Structure 1
Amino acid sequence: MGKADRRIKKTQDALKNAVLELMAEKSFDSITIQDLSDRANVSRGTIYLHYMDKYDLLDKLIETHINELGVRCKAVADLDFVSGSIIWTEYFEENHLFFSMMLASKGAPFFRTRFLDFLHEEFKDEVDVTQGKNKGLNEDMVIRFVASAYVGVVEWWFVNERPITHQALAEQLGALMDRNCN
Protein backbone atom coordinates (compact mmCIF):
# COMPACT_ATOMS: atom_id res chain seq x y z
CA MET A 1 0.00 0.00 0.00
CA GLY A 2 1.44 3.34 -1.03
CA LYS A 3 1.66 6.51 1.02
CA ALA A 4 -1.39 8.03 -0.74
CA ASP A 5 -3.41 4.87 -0.11
CA ARG A 6 -2.55 4.99 3.60
CA ARG A 7 -3.59 8.63 3.81
CA ILE A 8 -6.91 7.88 2.08
CA LYS A 9 -7.59 5.00 4.45
CA LYS A 10 -6.59 7.11 7.46
CA THR A 11 -8.96 9.89 6.37
CA GLN A 12 -11.82 7.48 5.70
CA ASP A 13 -11.28 5.76 9.05
CA ALA A 14 -11.26 9.14 10.82
CA LEU A 15 -14.55 10.06 9.15
CA LYS A 16 -16.16 6.71 10.00
CA ASN A 17 -15.08 7.05 13.61
CA ALA A 18 -16.29 10.64 13.68
CA VAL A 19 -19.79 9.73 12.51
CA LEU A 20 -20.06 6.99 15.15
CA GLU A 21 -18.80 9.25 17.93
CA LEU A 22 -21.22 11.98 16.89
CA MET A 23 -24.11 9.50 16.73
CA ALA A 24 -23.37 8.66 20.36
CA GLU A 25 -23.98 12.33 21.16
CA LYS A 26 -26.90 13.25 18.90
CA SER A 27 -29.20 11.93 16.21
CA PHE A 28 -27.79 11.26 12.78
CA ASP A 29 -30.14 13.83 11.25
CA SER A 30 -28.62 16.52 13.50
CA ILE A 31 -25.05 15.78 12.41
CA THR A 32 -23.67 18.27 9.91
CA ILE A 33 -20.77 18.05 7.50
CA GLN A 34 -19.09 20.71 9.63
CA ASP A 35 -19.49 18.47 12.70
CA LEU A 36 -17.83 15.63 10.80
CA SER A 37 -15.10 17.93 9.55
CA ASP A 38 -14.34 19.21 13.05
CA ARG A 39 -14.42 15.77 14.69
CA ALA A 40 -12.28 14.04 12.05
CA ASN A 41 -9.95 17.04 11.77
CA VAL A 42 -10.31 17.23 7.99
CA SER A 43 -11.64 19.94 5.72
CA ARG A 44 -15.19 19.89 4.38
CA GLY A 45 -13.69 19.58 0.90
CA THR A 46 -11.82 16.45 1.94
CA ILE A 47 -15.10 14.87 3.05
CA TYR A 48 -16.61 15.56 -0.36
CA LEU A 49 -13.58 13.99 -2.06
CA HIS A 50 -14.53 10.69 -0.41
CA TYR A 51 -18.31 10.85 0.03
CA MET A 52 -21.23 12.59 -1.65
CA ASP A 53 -22.75 13.51 1.72
CA LYS A 54 -23.18 12.19 5.26
CA TYR A 55 -25.69 9.60 4.04
CA ASP A 56 -23.15 8.21 1.59
CA LEU A 57 -20.61 8.02 4.43
CA LEU A 58 -23.07 6.13 6.62
CA ASP A 59 -24.06 3.85 3.75
CA LYS A 60 -20.41 2.99 3.03
CA LEU A 61 -19.82 2.31 6.73
CA ILE A 62 -22.83 -0.02 6.87
CA GLU A 63 -21.78 -1.72 3.64
CA THR A 64 -18.31 -2.39 5.06
CA HIS A 65 -19.72 -4.20 8.08
CA ILE A 66 -22.37 -6.14 6.14
CA ASN A 67 -19.72 -7.26 3.65
CA GLU A 68 -17.42 -8.36 6.48
CA LEU A 69 -20.23 -10.39 8.04
CA GLY A 70 -20.75 -12.00 4.63
CA VAL A 71 -17.07 -12.92 4.40
CA ARG A 72 -17.20 -14.41 7.88
CA CYS A 73 -20.39 -16.26 7.02
CA LYS A 74 -18.72 -17.94 4.04
CA ALA A 75 -15.78 -18.87 6.27
CA VAL A 76 -18.08 -20.68 8.72
CA ALA A 77 -20.33 -22.36 6.15
CA ASP A 78 -19.40 -25.86 7.30
CA LEU A 79 -19.63 -25.18 11.03
CA ASP A 80 -22.52 -25.83 13.37
CA PHE A 81 -24.72 -22.92 14.47
CA VAL A 82 -22.89 -22.32 17.75
CA SER A 83 -19.44 -22.23 16.16
CA GLY A 84 -20.72 -20.00 13.39
CA SER A 85 -22.38 -17.66 15.86
CA ILE A 86 -19.14 -17.33 17.84
CA ILE A 87 -17.42 -15.95 14.72
CA TRP A 88 -20.18 -13.34 14.35
CA THR A 89 -20.49 -12.40 18.02
CA GLU A 90 -16.71 -11.89 18.18
CA TYR A 91 -17.11 -9.44 15.31
CA PHE A 92 -20.02 -7.75 17.10
CA GLU A 93 -17.85 -7.42 20.21
CA GLU A 94 -14.84 -6.10 18.27
CA ASN A 95 -17.06 -3.50 16.59
CA HIS A 96 -19.42 -2.80 19.47
CA LEU A 97 -19.40 0.97 18.94
CA PHE A 98 -20.72 0.57 15.39
CA PHE A 99 -23.33 -2.06 16.25
CA SER A 100 -24.42 -0.20 19.39
CA MET A 101 -25.00 2.95 17.38
CA MET A 102 -26.82 1.07 14.63
CA LEU A 103 -28.99 -1.15 16.82
CA ALA A 104 -29.29 0.52 20.22
CA SER A 105 -30.01 4.01 18.94
CA LYS A 106 -32.75 5.34 16.74
CA GLY A 107 -30.13 6.99 14.56
CA ALA A 108 -29.89 4.41 11.79
CA PRO A 109 -33.03 2.33 11.18
CA PHE A 110 -31.68 1.74 7.68
CA PHE A 111 -28.97 -0.50 9.16
CA ARG A 112 -31.50 -2.74 10.90
CA THR A 113 -33.31 -3.30 7.61
CA ARG A 114 -30.04 -4.03 5.78
CA PHE A 115 -28.94 -6.41 8.54
CA LEU A 116 -32.30 -8.20 8.45
CA ASP A 117 -32.18 -8.55 4.65
CA PHE A 118 -28.60 -9.83 4.87
CA LEU A 119 -29.59 -12.48 7.44
CA HIS A 120 -32.63 -13.45 5.39
CA GLU A 121 -30.30 -14.26 2.48
CA GLU A 122 -27.78 -16.05 4.70
CA PHE A 123 -30.39 -18.24 6.40
CA LYS A 124 -32.09 -19.38 3.16
CA ASP A 125 -30.03 -22.56 3.01
CA GLU A 126 -30.43 -23.24 6.73
CA VAL A 127 -34.22 -23.60 6.85
CA ASP A 128 -35.82 -26.86 5.79
CA VAL A 129 -39.62 -26.92 5.38
CA THR A 130 -39.72 -30.40 3.83
CA GLN A 131 -39.28 -32.26 7.12
CA GLY A 132 -39.07 -31.83 10.87
CA LYS A 133 -40.74 -29.08 12.90
CA ASN A 134 -41.03 -26.70 9.96
CA LYS A 135 -42.58 -29.22 7.56
CA GLY A 136 -45.37 -27.66 5.57
CA LEU A 137 -44.71 -24.09 6.68
CA ASN A 138 -44.09 -21.26 4.24
CA GLU A 139 -40.33 -21.23 3.69
CA ASP A 140 -40.01 -17.46 3.24
CA MET A 141 -42.01 -16.87 6.42
CA VAL A 142 -39.81 -19.26 8.44
CA ILE A 143 -36.63 -17.64 7.10
CA ARG A 144 -37.98 -14.16 7.94
CA PHE A 145 -38.97 -15.40 11.42
CA VAL A 146 -35.48 -16.77 12.12
CA ALA A 147 -33.70 -13.70 10.70
CA SER A 148 -35.97 -11.32 12.66
CA ALA A 149 -35.41 -13.27 15.86
CA TYR A 150 -31.64 -13.18 15.32
CA VAL A 151 -31.66 -9.41 14.74
CA GLY A 152 -33.93 -8.96 17.76
CA VAL A 153 -31.61 -10.88 20.06
CA VAL A 154 -28.50 -9.05 18.85
CA GLU A 155 -30.36 -5.77 19.24
CA TRP A 156 -31.42 -6.79 22.79
CA TRP A 157 -27.77 -7.56 23.57
CA PHE A 158 -26.61 -4.08 22.55
CA VAL A 159 -29.58 -2.16 23.98
CA ASN A 160 -28.92 -3.82 27.34
CA GLU A 161 -25.21 -3.05 27.11
CA ARG A 162 -24.09 -6.63 26.46
CA PRO A 163 -25.41 -8.28 29.65
CA ILE A 164 -23.80 -11.62 28.75
CA THR A 165 -20.48 -12.39 27.10
CA HIS A 166 -20.33 -12.70 23.34
CA GLN A 167 -19.51 -16.40 23.84
CA ALA A 168 -22.69 -16.95 25.86
CA LEU A 169 -24.66 -15.00 23.27
CA ALA A 170 -23.23 -17.21 20.52
CA GLU A 171 -24.00 -20.42 22.40
CA GLN A 172 -27.59 -19.40 23.03
CA LEU A 173 -28.15 -18.02 19.52
CA GLY A 174 -26.63 -21.19 18.08
CA ALA A 175 -28.92 -23.39 20.19
CA LEU A 176 -31.96 -21.36 19.14
CA MET A 177 -30.93 -21.53 15.48
CA ASP A 178 -30.43 -25.26 15.76
CA ARG A 179 -33.95 -25.68 17.20
CA ASN A 180 -35.63 -23.53 14.58
CA CYS A 181 -33.76 -24.43 11.40
CA ASN A 182 -33.69 -28.20 11.53
Structure 2
Amino acid sequence: MPKVDRRIQKTQLALKNAVIELMSEKDFDQITIQDIADRANLNRGTIYLHYQDKYDLLDKLIDSQINELAEMDEWACDEDWTDAFIPYFEYFRQNHLFFSTMLTSKGSGPSYFRTRLLAHVIKGFEREIDRESGKNSNLSDDVILQYAGTAYVGLIEWWIVSGMPYPPEVMAKQVGALLERSL
Protein backbone atom coordinates (compact mmCIF):
# COMPACT_ATOMS: atom_id res chain seq x y z
CA MET A 1 0.00 0.00 0.00
CA PRO A 2 1.47 3.42 -0.93
CA LYS A 3 2.52 5.65 1.92
CA VAL A 4 0.29 8.69 2.47
CA ASP A 5 2.00 12.08 2.39
CA ARG A 6 2.43 13.51 5.91
CA ARG A 7 0.83 16.81 4.86
CA ILE A 8 -2.27 14.96 3.71
CA GLN A 9 -2.37 13.02 6.98
CA LYS A 10 -2.04 16.25 8.95
CA THR A 11 -4.82 17.90 6.93
CA GLN A 12 -7.13 14.91 7.30
CA LEU A 13 -6.51 14.75 11.05
CA ALA A 14 -7.27 18.49 11.38
CA LEU A 15 -10.51 17.99 9.43
CA LYS A 16 -11.48 14.96 11.50
CA ASN A 17 -10.89 16.84 14.74
CA ALA A 18 -12.75 19.88 13.45
CA VAL A 19 -15.82 17.85 12.46
CA ILE A 20 -15.90 15.99 15.77
CA GLU A 21 -15.50 19.20 17.79
CA LEU A 22 -18.21 20.96 15.80
CA MET A 23 -20.57 17.99 16.11
CA SER A 24 -20.16 18.11 19.88
CA GLU A 25 -21.42 21.72 19.72
CA LYS A 26 -24.24 21.53 17.16
CA ASP A 27 -26.14 19.23 14.80
CA PHE A 28 -24.17 18.00 11.82
CA ASP A 29 -26.88 19.35 9.51
CA GLN A 30 -26.14 22.88 10.77
CA ILE A 31 -22.38 22.64 10.22
CA THR A 32 -21.06 24.29 7.06
CA ILE A 33 -17.89 23.67 5.09
CA GLN A 34 -16.78 27.15 6.19
CA ASP A 35 -17.28 26.15 9.84
CA ILE A 36 -15.09 23.09 9.28
CA ALA A 37 -12.45 25.10 7.42
CA ASP A 38 -12.34 27.76 10.13
CA ARG A 39 -12.09 25.20 12.93
CA ALA A 40 -9.36 23.23 11.12
CA ASN A 41 -7.57 26.46 10.20
CA LEU A 42 -7.68 25.50 6.53
CA ASN A 43 -8.90 27.04 3.33
CA ARG A 44 -12.27 25.82 2.01
CA GLY A 45 -10.53 24.86 -1.20
CA THR A 46 -8.27 22.48 0.71
CA ILE A 47 -11.32 20.60 1.95
CA TYR A 48 -12.65 20.30 -1.58
CA LEU A 49 -9.30 18.86 -2.73
CA HIS A 50 -9.96 15.89 -0.46
CA TYR A 51 -13.77 15.66 -0.19
CA GLN A 52 -16.80 16.46 -2.34
CA ASP A 53 -18.73 18.00 0.55
CA LYS A 54 -19.25 17.69 4.29
CA TYR A 55 -21.21 14.46 3.82
CA ASP A 56 -18.32 12.89 1.92
CA LEU A 57 -15.95 14.00 4.67
CA LEU A 58 -18.18 12.45 7.33
CA ASP A 59 -18.63 9.28 5.28
CA LYS A 60 -14.85 8.87 4.92
CA LEU A 61 -14.39 9.54 8.63
CA ILE A 62 -16.94 6.86 9.49
CA ASP A 63 -15.39 4.48 6.93
CA SER A 64 -12.03 4.93 8.62
CA GLN A 65 -13.39 4.01 12.06
CA ILE A 66 -15.41 1.05 10.75
CA ASN A 67 -12.36 -0.19 8.81
CA GLU A 68 -10.26 -0.07 11.98
CA LEU A 69 -12.92 -2.11 13.77
CA ALA A 70 -13.00 -4.55 10.82
CA GLU A 71 -9.25 -5.09 11.13
CA MET A 72 -9.80 -6.07 14.75
CA ASP A 73 -12.58 -8.50 13.72
CA GLU A 74 -10.12 -10.86 12.03
CA TRP A 75 -8.21 -11.34 15.26
CA ALA A 76 -11.29 -11.48 17.49
CA CYS A 77 -12.77 -14.50 15.69
CA ASP A 78 -10.01 -16.70 17.09
CA GLU A 79 -10.60 -15.70 20.71
CA ASP A 80 -13.21 -16.59 23.31
CA TRP A 81 -15.97 -14.04 23.86
CA THR A 82 -14.39 -12.24 26.82
CA ASP A 83 -10.90 -11.93 25.37
CA ALA A 84 -12.28 -10.90 22.00
CA PHE A 85 -14.06 -7.84 23.39
CA ILE A 86 -11.15 -6.38 25.38
CA PRO A 87 -9.45 -4.71 22.39
CA TYR A 88 -12.78 -3.29 21.23
CA PHE A 89 -13.53 -1.63 24.55
CA GLU A 90 -9.93 -0.36 24.68
CA TYR A 91 -10.44 1.07 21.19
CA PHE A 92 -13.73 2.73 22.20
CA ARG A 93 -11.97 4.22 25.23
CA GLN A 94 -9.05 5.49 23.17
CA ASN A 95 -11.45 7.01 20.64
CA HIS A 96 -13.90 8.26 23.27
CA LEU A 97 -14.43 11.69 21.72
CA PHE A 98 -15.31 10.25 18.32
CA PHE A 99 -17.70 7.59 19.66
CA SER A 100 -19.34 9.84 22.24
CA THR A 101 -19.93 12.51 19.62
CA MET A 102 -21.23 10.09 17.04
CA LEU A 103 -23.48 8.21 19.43
CA THR A 104 -24.92 11.21 21.28
CA SER A 105 -25.10 14.09 18.78
CA LYS A 106 -28.24 14.84 16.86
CA GLY A 107 -28.76 15.14 13.13
CA SER A 108 -28.21 12.91 10.14
CA GLY A 109 -24.49 12.25 10.73
CA PRO A 110 -24.72 10.43 14.04
CA SER A 111 -27.83 8.56 12.95
CA TYR A 112 -25.95 7.38 9.87
CA PHE A 113 -22.99 6.32 12.01
CA ARG A 114 -25.13 4.31 14.42
CA THR A 115 -26.75 2.53 11.46
CA ARG A 116 -23.34 1.74 9.97
CA LEU A 117 -21.94 0.55 13.31
CA LEU A 118 -24.95 -1.70 13.88
CA ALA A 119 -24.65 -3.18 10.37
CA HIS A 120 -20.95 -3.86 10.98
CA VAL A 121 -21.64 -5.53 14.33
CA ILE A 122 -24.44 -7.67 12.92
CA LYS A 123 -22.24 -8.80 10.05
CA GLY A 124 -19.57 -9.83 12.54
CA PHE A 125 -22.07 -11.74 14.65
CA GLU A 126 -23.50 -13.69 11.68
CA ARG A 127 -20.89 -16.41 11.88
CA GLU A 128 -21.24 -16.67 15.67
CA ILE A 129 -24.81 -17.96 15.92
CA ASP A 130 -24.78 -21.25 17.82
CA ARG A 131 -26.92 -23.80 15.98
CA GLU A 132 -25.19 -26.87 17.37
CA SER A 133 -26.28 -26.67 21.02
CA GLY A 134 -29.93 -26.24 20.08
CA LYS A 135 -30.39 -23.08 22.15
CA ASN A 136 -31.27 -21.06 19.04
CA SER A 137 -32.96 -23.77 17.01
CA ASN A 138 -36.42 -22.20 17.11
CA LEU A 139 -35.25 -18.61 16.55
CA SER A 140 -34.81 -16.68 13.33
CA ASP A 141 -31.26 -15.58 12.48
CA ASP A 142 -32.55 -12.07 11.73
CA VAL A 143 -34.13 -11.76 15.17
CA ILE A 144 -31.04 -13.12 16.95
CA LEU A 145 -28.72 -10.79 15.06
CA GLN A 146 -30.88 -7.69 15.57
CA TYR A 147 -31.23 -8.47 19.26
CA ALA A 148 -27.53 -9.10 19.86
CA GLY A 149 -26.33 -6.26 17.62
CA THR A 150 -28.68 -3.68 19.07
CA ALA A 151 -27.84 -4.77 22.61
CA TYR A 152 -24.08 -4.52 21.93
CA VAL A 153 -24.28 -1.10 20.28
CA GLY A 154 -26.60 0.07 23.07
CA LEU A 155 -24.12 -1.08 25.71
CA ILE A 156 -21.27 0.71 23.95
CA GLU A 157 -23.37 3.86 23.84
CA TRP A 158 -24.41 3.55 27.50
CA TRP A 159 -20.82 2.90 28.61
CA ILE A 160 -19.44 5.91 26.77
CA VAL A 161 -22.28 8.31 27.70
CA SER A 162 -22.04 7.20 31.35
CA GLY A 163 -18.38 8.16 31.47
CA MET A 164 -17.05 4.61 31.13
CA PRO A 165 -17.87 3.56 34.72
CA TYR A 166 -16.19 0.17 34.27
CA PRO A 167 -12.76 -0.60 32.86
CA PRO A 168 -12.62 -2.13 29.36
CA GLU A 169 -11.74 -5.55 30.79
CA VAL A 170 -14.85 -5.60 32.99
CA MET A 171 -17.08 -4.50 30.11
CA ALA A 172 -15.52 -7.12 27.85
CA LYS A 173 -16.15 -9.87 30.40
CA GLN A 174 -19.77 -8.89 30.99
CA VAL A 175 -20.66 -8.20 27.38
CA GLY A 176 -18.91 -11.40 26.29
CA ALA A 177 -20.93 -13.42 28.83
CA LEU A 178 -24.22 -11.83 27.74
CA LEU A 179 -23.58 -12.31 24.02
CA GLU A 180 -22.41 -15.88 24.53
CA ARG A 181 -25.81 -16.61 26.10
CA SER A 182 -27.61 -14.94 23.19
CA LEU A 183 -25.73 -16.14 20.16
TM-score, normalised to structure 2, is 0.93
Q: Retained in 2: the 8 A contact 1:128–1:139?
A: no
**Unmatched 5+ stretches in structure 1:** none
* Code of the aligned partner of 2:135: K
Pairing of 1:160-171 with structure 2 (within 5 A) = 160-171=162-173
* Code of the aligned partner of 1:120: I
Q: Which residue of 2 aligns with 1:32?
A: 32
Q: Which residue of 2 aligns with 1:9?
A: 9
Alignment deviations for residues 137-180 of structure 1 (CA, whole Å, 9 cap, x no partner):
11121111111110111111122222222221111111111111
Alignment deviations for residues 10-62 of structure 1 (CA, whole Å, 9 cap, x no partner):
10110001000111111111111111111111100000000111111111010
Alignment deviations for residues 92-126 of structure 1 (CA, whole Å, 9 cap, x no partner):
01101110011122241000000111111100011
Q: Equivalents in 1 of 2:164, 2:91: separation in Å?
A: 13
Q: Which residue of 2 aligns with 1:50?
A: 50
User: CA-atom RMSD, angstroms?
Assistant: 1.5
Q: Which residue of 2 aligns with 1:154?
A: 156
Deviation of the 1:130 alpha carbon = 4.9
Alignment deviations for residues 66-97 of structure 1 (CA, whole Å, 9 cap, x no partner):
01101001012110111111011111011011
Q: Please tell me whether residue 69 in structure 1 is matched to residue 73 in structure 2.
A: no
Q: Equivalents in 1 of 2:53, 2:21: separation in Å?
A: 17
Aligned residues between the structures: 180
**Matched-pair identity in %:** 53
Q: Equivalents in 2 of 1:76, 1:159: separation in Å?
A: 25
Q: Which residue of 2 aligns with 1:18?
A: 18
**Unmatched 5+ stretches in structure 2:** none
Q: Retained in 2: the 8 A contact 1:129–1:138?
A: no
* Code of the aligned partner of 1:176: L
